[in-house]
Amino acid sequence: MTHLSWYRKYRPQTFEDVVGQPHIEQTLRNAVAEGAVAHAYLFTGPRGTGKTTTARILAKALNCEQGPTATPDDTCEQCRAIAEGTHPDVYELDAASRTGVDDVREQIIGRLNYASSRGGWKVYIIDEVHMLSTSAFNALLKSLEEPPARTAFILCTTHPHKVPETIHSRCQRFDFRRLSVEDIVGRLRTICNAESVDVPDGALTLIAKHALGGMRDAITTLEQLASFGGGVIRMEDVESLLGEVDADALFEAASLVLERDIAGAFRFVAQLADTGIDMGEFVKGLVKHFRDLFVLAAVGADVAIDTTSRDLGRMQSQAAGFGVDRIGRVLEILERLSTELRYAADQRLAVEVAMTRMARPHSDLTLESLAERIDALEAGAPLVEFTAPASIAVRPAASVPAQAEPVAAVPAAPPAAPTAPPKPEPAPAPAPETAARDAAPAPGARASSPAGAPFDVAAVKRAWPAVLAEIKKIRAPRAHIFSGTEAEIVGGTLVVEFPADQRFALDLARESETVSVLRRAVRAVLGQEPPVEYRLGRQGGSSGSTPAPCDPPAQPPVRAPQEPVTAAGAPAAASAARPVAPGEDPDDLEAAVLAELGGELIDDVSEEHETI
């Protein structure tokens, strides 16, 4: 006995059996019942959505012994012959293999003048009609325009734009939609029950998603999996064969990002790698998942979401937890990850880094991550800091920023002097090549050492190589800028001196991103954030620990606003925010502050913005 494929065995035989096209089936049934059948139809849509099947059912409705009727009995001789493809009055032409004008003339035009032999209607079904040549379309044009009585043409195509407009204008067009996941799952479950196949609902959902709206592809995949498992289909078999990721895994990944669980994210990626799931397929599935969350969060409409009713509730809950802006940032990270995976030497590492960036905006120096942190603060929900498990070695406490404290709009007065304060050293006049100080510390940052604690000059000199190493660790491409530099403490200010022949490196160090990297490195090593000043070394000799006195420069240096320095070199209280120095672009000042905000937590965004 010849085996019949499931997609042919379970092909719908009546209008009621067709899945996912109610608008088309209802229109055709009404046309048959009212005797208003058109002489030409154009069925368009993706493959496997029921175009040819519906054409055969329409032929049955017209030629059934009980009709024409909108409900063919599918048991009479006429209906059985049409289902088996042997009815003499129903012609099926495969335009993909017969594209020439001679085929059209022989198979269609030459038979039009003959009356039907058995049924009441002559029906011509042309599949993949867009494959016909231009001359074949021209030959068919007259027949479509003025066909004989009780003759119907049904043209089926997956590419309607390739069909000439002259053909379009002579046909009633019906667009077949992609089938929803729920419709496909319901049909697959019916087939599994008829064939005694044991399969979980999650596996059917994966098969339906993989089919991309095509019922024929879904049934073919189901038959293949049933043969592989001997009538039992497991979730692992579906994931292995199709490369699809279970919906539960996508929900778990999104939940880890939502809860900012970094350790859980690493364990999750490790589990993916251990089970052999392709990282590229996982990222594709995660993109689709977050796209659905974005739609739900943005418009709250489920008409654009192709999922099951069971998963829709969980999606709505996650979408409400994320919000539109945060989901948009996650999608941008996933888009970059999709590109990086093509060339990544270690795909697992790329996914781990992306999951960390999605879950913890502190680790991502972008405007989008900064906006997410601001939104969280404005909503009154402080960001959850990353806490490493006990098994992971962490940096010393001095290298981790403490909890943020609000910063006033004007610089605060210096702390009270100790009981026996050391006599302050007079500050020398700035050198002619003195660079501008870096911007103020990021709002909310607090040094781990007591405020105002004096620096050990010798300790700073010894720690400078460690600062350079930290810069290389934070941002390796910026480390070469500080090659050959020296550092010392002068009047509470960290003076970074560049060699005399490295003026270009000093100019690069002025960039806001470089300043931010330097500040982070100094804070990590010294535990404090002293004011920083750049200086170009003297020609023809090594620099000393104190800048050489010279005439004041034409453009005075810009001081850090939180510790204005008087002529005597001691901090002084200020009554206003930092002014813009002569010749300095206010936009550059704002860019520098924004760059620092991208690496540190914000406590009082509105006041700082007004200060800038």
Total structural domains within the chain:
4
Q: How do residues 15-35 score in pLDDT, each as one tens digit?
A: 888 888 888 999 999 999 998
Question: Is the same domain home to 21 and 169?
Answer: yes
Domain boundary (361, 378, 395) is at: 378
With CA atoms as reference, report the closest residue to 55 among 134, 138, 130, 121. 121
Q: How do residues 222-270 score in pLDDT, each as one tens digit?
A: 998 888 888 888 888 887 777 777 788 899 999 999 988 889 999 999 9
Distance (Å, whole) CA 498 – CA 496: 7
Question: Is the same domain home to 11 and 159?
Answer: yes
Give the model's pLDDT for residue 351: 92
Give the model's pLDDT for residue 476: 79
Question: Is the same domain home to 296 and 332?
Answer: yes
Q: What is the DSSP letter of 599?
A: T
Distance (Å, whole) CA 432 – CA 171: 85
CATH code of 292's domain: 1.20.272.10
Give the model's pLDDT for residue 30: 92
Question: Is the same domain home to 537 and 605?
Answer: yes
Has residue 77 been placed in a domain? yes
Has residue 418 been placed in a domain? no
CB 222 within 8 A of CB 185: no
Question: Is the same domain home to 171 and 231?
Answer: no
Query: Residue type for 312, please?
Result: L
Question: Is the same domain home to 187 and 166?
Answer: no
With CA atoms as reference, report the closest residue to 250 among 280, 194, 290, 302. 290
Domain boundary (357, 378, 399) is at: 378
Burial (Cβ within 10 Å: 0-12, 13-18, ≥19) of residue 509: buried
Has residue 386 been placed in a domain? no
Question: Is the same domain home to 196 and 131?
Answer: no
Domain boundary (334, 356, 378) is at: 378
Residue ranges in the chain whose pLDDT is less than 50: 1, 382-452, 540-581, 584, 586-587, 589-612
Give the model's pLDDT for residue 473: 82
Has residue 81 been placed in a domain? yes
Question: Is the same domain home to 345 and 289?
Answer: yes
Give the model's pLDDT for residue 43: 94
| Residues of the domain holding 170 | 6-175
Question: Is the same domain home to 508 and 591?
Answer: yes
Q: What is the pTM of this model?
A: 0.52
Give the model's pLDDT for residue 529: 80
Has residue 551 been placed in a domain? no
CATH code of 223's domain: 1.10.8.60
